[in-house]
């Protein structure tokens, strides 16, 4: 677009642009205080030289403001049975997860069924009585107060969903009431009324958290509409108040897809923001407009993209945000997630508050322990764990295969996967807690069949997928049972670790060579793991006689502890017991059983402390072919809460101290 200025006269086109923007501003549904600012910007804009850089920046800014869904919302479909049906149809198992989600929705539904209670505060009797009469007829539960003092007393005694108050009153005024409500009931909406239709007090009221502003003389329809909006707004925020759902678990366990189903069940739009590796606060909260190329942050941008102010917004990998010199992304997130503050979230680019209280935030994390504490405090953690082989097989049969058949265009002659073929894919072509690769492998097979049909190499008949057909399409197996196929050795003990992709097995190797008692540690061990190794060595040295090791042996050797797969960083205290066993095996020269895996933190006195991720570790042990898993006695509660069939195929032994398990591992 090009503009010309002749004799300082503003070109016709520009006038049209300005008028169009003015119209868009008034139709955008922005709250009055934002409209005020937008109009001021428009005023500045109208005086700018079209060839200046500022002109384009301001134009983009105003267009961005008017494009936001300020008051556009979808209405919630609060039907618990429907939600349950959607979750069950789309997701296999995950009973605990689904129950927690349904409970969450039930609270919301219960709160929505009550008649909202309204407090009317006005010192003019006529207005008070009028409003009371009209609102009672609308089925609201109405209580009135004739002045601020009485209103404060009532607010002390009871809770109201909506407060409708005059601003200007003798003594205690509307602002004092607003302040009290905000401090006591964060979810109560306050609508302010005043005869002094000064924009200043409206702006002030909204800034301090009022929901809406009505100027006297008002039409009763206007009040009714405002109350209806306040009620709807309250409902859409109920489930986010106080607790934000955090789905925690390894990749591919269904976190994102369940989030999407929740949105569908509620009839809301869905959007996702990946937070992994975000360092710069501006990515969340936007750049100030003074920067060249300034942009709004991802939260506001996603909301704009969905076109509504109340989507389900999934924030992925909240445990992976980093903190560095470019501000603190976590604190920006905190502000977005905090129901006490997010009704006036400030994006630096927008520079005006945007109400995020209607957004239902769901966050996901691989390891919740890594989430910053301030954020964690506001979340209700729902754990997604890895799947057993049986569960994976059922998900493949009921969901993944039908989905891939449809996607690859094989609906008319669907390939028929046998149970053995699916198990072969799970065991020999994937090694994961979730089912992402399983889905990928099934997709590959379906795609190859589709290609052959198209090329004419295959008839349009349903193919039976047997283990042999799997091997034909996917090539030689990629994974082996590391443990079942390995030989027992001296100084090599199997351990279990918990990583962000689920549980995994490790082999701790210990070797000795002539030297002076030095300890060498290799294999990308983190500090905590290094300390565990030192503690394990000290423990074995100081208790050598108990294990039949002569004390002076240690002085003559250097000891090397290595954990293979050196490229993968490893840390955490849970390898302490495994390292100690590797050392005992080494110095007693007894073979260690490969198919026994240990996890547990070791103290210097040989006691074993509980560790995290037990369920994931047991799944990993089963995947690797481990027969016996030894875990700390104090982790018994984790085992007791697991379903019986989960423990099929592995023996679980509890230990209180290292001495308990020597003969279980060493031959
Ligand atoms: P995450 O977000 O945990 O990484 P996704 O939701 O992306 O996992 O899931 C990966 C794939 O697995 C998706 O296609 C999803 O539909 C499927 N999936 C995962 N869990 C289940 C389940 N319990 N039932 C049906 N499909 C599932």
What is the tens place of the pLDDT at every residue in 265-311? 989 999 999 988 787 888 899 999 877 788 999 999 999 999 999 99
User: Which tokens hold the place of 457?
Assistant: 């190499």
Atom in ligand 1 nearest the alpha carbon of residue 258? 6
260 lines ligand 1 (CB under 6 A): no
Q: Which two tokens stand for residue 306?
A: 């969905």
Ligand 1 centroid from CA 254, angstroms:
3
Whole-Å CA distances, 589 to 353, 492, 510: 70, 11, 11
Q: Which of 94, 257, 397 to mutate to test the pocket of ligand 1 (most atoms within 8 A of CB)?
A: 257
Q: State in Å: Cα 278 to ligand 1 middle.
A: 24
Domain 389-474, classified CATH 2.60.120.260, yes or no: no
Can you give the pLDDT at residue 167? 87
Q: Which pLDDT band, with edges at 50, 70 and 90, does 484 fall under?
A: low
For ligand 1, say whether the CB of 272 is within 6 Å of any of its atoms: no
Q: Specify the pLDDT at position 242.
A: 47
Just list the catalytic residues: 574, 617
Average pLDDT of the residues of the chain? 87
Two tokens, residue 2: 């090009």
Range in 8-17, 81-90, 612-621, 654-663 the model is least confident about: 8-17
435 lines ligand 1 (CB under 6 A): yes
How far is the C-alpha of 313 from the C-alpha of 362, rounded, in Å?
A: 6
| Ligand 1 mean position, distance from CA 251 (Å) | 9
Q: Distance (Å, rounded) from C-alpha 420 to C-alpha 464?
A: 12
Q: Domain map of the chain by residue range?
A: 8-67, 114-236, 245-383, 389-474, 489-665
CB atoms inside a 10 Å sphere around CB 184: 11
Q: What are the angstrom distances between the C-alpha of 405 and each of 94, 412, 427, 460, 485?
A: 24, 9, 22, 14, 35
Confidence at residue 443, expressed as pLDDT on a 0 to 100 scale: 96
List b or e across 459-480, with b for residues whose CB sees 16 or more CB atoms inside 10 angstroms: eeeebebeeebbeebbeeeeee
**pLDDT value at residue 483:** 74
Please list the helix, strand and coil fractions of the chain in percent, rounded to the nearest 5, in that order: 45, 20, 35
Distance from residue 229's CA to the centre of ligand 1 (Å) = 36
CATH fold of 245-383: Rossmann fold (3.40.50)
Atom of ligand 1 nearest to the CA of 259: 6
Tell whether ligand 1 has an atom less than 6 A from the beta carbon of residue 392.
no
Q: What is the mean pLDDT of residues 341-359?
A: 89
Instruction: Calculate how far, in angstroms, residue 260's C-alpha sits from the geometric centre of ligand 1.
Output: 11
Q: What is the pLDDT of residues 526-537, one digit of tens each?
A: 888 899 999 999
Model confidence at 324, pLDDT cuts 50, 70, 90, reads: low
Asked if 114-236 and 245-383 have one fold, the answer is yes
What long-range pairs does 332-337 form, CB within 8 A, spacing at least 24?
Answer: 332/281, 332/284, 332/285, 332/297, 333/275, 333/284, 333/375, 334/374, 334/375, 334/378, 335/285, 336/284, 336/299, 336/361, 337/244, 337/361, 337/363, 337/375, 337/378
The per-residue pLDDT for 644 is: 81
* 439 within ligand 1 shell (Cβ under 6 A): yes
Residue 113: pLDDT over 80: no
Between 450-454, 595-599, 651-655, the lowest mean confidence (pLDDT) is in 450-454
Residue 323, pLDDT score:
60
Q: How far apart are CA 465 and CA 197, in angstroms?
A: 75
pLDDT the model gives residue 237: 60
Mode of pairing for the β-strands spanning 212-215 and 244-248? unpaired
Cβ atoms of 515 and 557 within 8 Å: the answer is yes
Most ligand 1 atoms within 8 A of CB, residue of 97, 251, 253, 263 to mutate: 253
Select from 597, 598, 579 the least CA-distant residue to 532. Answer: 579
Asked if 600 and 508 count as a contact pair (C-beta separation under 8 A), the reply is no
Residue 2 pLDDT: 45
Residue nearest to atom 25 of ligand 1 (CA): 91
Helix axis angle for 53-67 and 12-27, nearest 10°, is: 30
Please tell me the distance from the alpha carbon of residue 667 to that of residue 660, in angstroms, as a whole number.
14
Average pLDDT over residues 372-394: 88
d(CA 434, CA 501) in angstroms, rounded, equals 8
Which of 179-183, 203-207, 492-496 is predicted most confidently? 492-496
* Nearest atom, ligand 1, residue 247 CA: 3
Q: Does 4 have pLDDT greater than 60?
A: no
Report how far ligand 1's centroid is from the alpha carbon of 445 (Å).
Answer: 19
Closest residue by Cα to atom 6, ligand 1, is 254
Residue whose Cα lies nearest atom 9 of ligand 1: it is 254
Q: What is the pLDDT of residues 184-229, one digit of tens each?
A: 887 789 999 877 556 677 778 888 888 888 888 888 888 888 888 8
Paired strand residues for 314: 272, 362
Phi, psi of 331 (to 5 degrees): -70, -30
What's residue 351's pLDDT? 92
Does residue 254 line the site of ligand 1, with CB under 6 A? yes
Distances (CA, A) of 76 to 80, 130, 140, 162, 549: 12, 31, 20, 20, 70
* Low-confidence winner among 14-23, 433-442, 562-571 (lowest mean pLDDT): 562-571
Determine whether the shortest distance from the Cβ of 256 to ligand 1 is under 6 A: yes
Return the structure tokens found at 493: 């003990």
CATH 3.40.50.700 matches 489-665: no
Q: pLDDT tens digit string along 235-272? A: 666 544 446 889 999 999 999 999 999 999 989 999 99
Lowest mean pLDDT of 79-93, 108-122, 515-529, name the range: 108-122
112 pocket-lining for ligand 1 (C-beta < 6 Å): no
For domain 114-236, give the CATH superfamily. Answer: Response regulator (3.40.50.2300)
Report the separation in Å between the CA atom of 95 and the middle of ligand 1, taken as the mean of its atom positions.
14
């Amino acid at each position: 677009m090009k503009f010309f200025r002749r004799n300082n006269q503003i070109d016709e086109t520009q006038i049209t642009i300005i008028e169009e923007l003015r119209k868009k501003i008034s139709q955008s549904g922005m709250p009055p205080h934002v409209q005020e600012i937008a109009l001021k910007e428009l005023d500045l804009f109208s005086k700018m030289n079209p060839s200046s850089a500022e002109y384009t920046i301001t134009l983009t800014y105003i267009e961005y403001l008017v494009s936001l869904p300020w008051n556009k919302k979808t209405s919630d479909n609060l039907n618990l049975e429907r939600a349950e049906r959607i979750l069950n149809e789309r997701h296999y198992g995950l009973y605990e997860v689904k129950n927690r989600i349904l409970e969450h929705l039930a609270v919301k539904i219960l709160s929505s069924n009550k008649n909202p209670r309204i407090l009317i505060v006005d010192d003019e009797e006529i207005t008070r009585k009028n409003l009371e009469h009209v609102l009672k007829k609308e089925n609201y539960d109405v209580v009135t107060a004739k002045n601020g003092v009485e209103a404060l007393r009532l607010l002390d005694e009871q809770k109201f969903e909506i407060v409708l108050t005059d601003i200007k009153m003798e003594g205690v005024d509307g602002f004092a009431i607003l302040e009290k409500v905000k401090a006591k009931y964060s979810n109560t909406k306050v609508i302010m009324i005043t005869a002094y239709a000064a924009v200043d007090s409206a702006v002030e009221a909204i800034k301090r958290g009022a929901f809406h502003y009505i100027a006297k003389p008002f039409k009763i329809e206007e009040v009714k509409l405002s109350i209806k909006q306040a009620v709807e707004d309250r409902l859409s925020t109920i489930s986010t108040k106080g607790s934000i759902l955090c789905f925690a678990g390894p990749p591919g366990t269904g976190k994102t897809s369940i989030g999407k189903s929740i949105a569908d069940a509620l009839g809301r739009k869905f959007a996702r923001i990946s937070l992994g590796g975000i360092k710069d606060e501006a990515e969340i909260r936007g750049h100030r407009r003074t920067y060249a190329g300034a942009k709004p942050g991802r939260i506001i941008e996603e909301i704009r993209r969905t076109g509504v102010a109340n989507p389900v917004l999934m924030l992925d990998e909240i445990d992976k945000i980093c903190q560095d010199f470019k501000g603190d992304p976590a604190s920006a997130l905190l502000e977005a997630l905090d129901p006490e503050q997010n009704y006036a979230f400030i994006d630096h680019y927008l520079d005006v508050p945007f109400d995020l209280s209607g957004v239902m935030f769901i966050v996901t994390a691989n390891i919740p322990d890594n989430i910053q504490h301030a954020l964690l405090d506001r979340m209700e953690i729902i754990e997604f764990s890895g799947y057993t082989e049986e569960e994976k097989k059922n998900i493949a049969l009921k969901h993944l295969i039908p989905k891939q058949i449809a996607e690859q265009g094989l609906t008319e002659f669907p390939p028929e996967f046998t149970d053995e073929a699916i198990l072969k894919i799970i065991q020999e072509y994937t090694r994961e807690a979730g089912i992402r690769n399983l889905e990928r492998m099934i997709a590959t097979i379906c795609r190859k069949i589709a290609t052959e049909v198209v090329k004419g190499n295959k008839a349009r008949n349903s193919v039976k997928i047997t283990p042999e057909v799997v091997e034909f399409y996917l090539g030689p197996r990629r994974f082996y049972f590391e443990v079942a196929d390995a030989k027992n050795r001296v100084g090599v003990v199997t351990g279990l670790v918990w990583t962000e992709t689920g549980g995994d097995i490790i082999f701790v190797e210990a070797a000795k060579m002539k030297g002076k008692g030095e300890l060498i540690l290799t294999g990308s061990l983190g500090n905590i793991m290094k300390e565990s190794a030192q503690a394990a060595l000290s423990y074995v040295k100081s208790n050598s006689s108990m294990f039949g090791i002569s004390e002076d042996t240690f002085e003559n050797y250097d000891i090397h502890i290595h954990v293979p797969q050196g490229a993968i960083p490893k840390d955490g205290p849970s390898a302490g017991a495994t390292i100690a066993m590797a050392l005992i095996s080494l110095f007693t020269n007894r073979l260690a059983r490969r198919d026994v895996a240990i996890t547990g933190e070791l103290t210097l006195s040989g006691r074993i402390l509980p560790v995290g991720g037990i369920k994931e570790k047991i799944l990993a042990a089963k995947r690797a072919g481990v027969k016996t898993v030894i875990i700390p006695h104090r982790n018994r509660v984790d085992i007791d809460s697991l379903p019986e069939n989960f423990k099929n195929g592995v023996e679980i032994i509890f230990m209180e101290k290292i001495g308990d398990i020597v003969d279980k591992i060493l031959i």
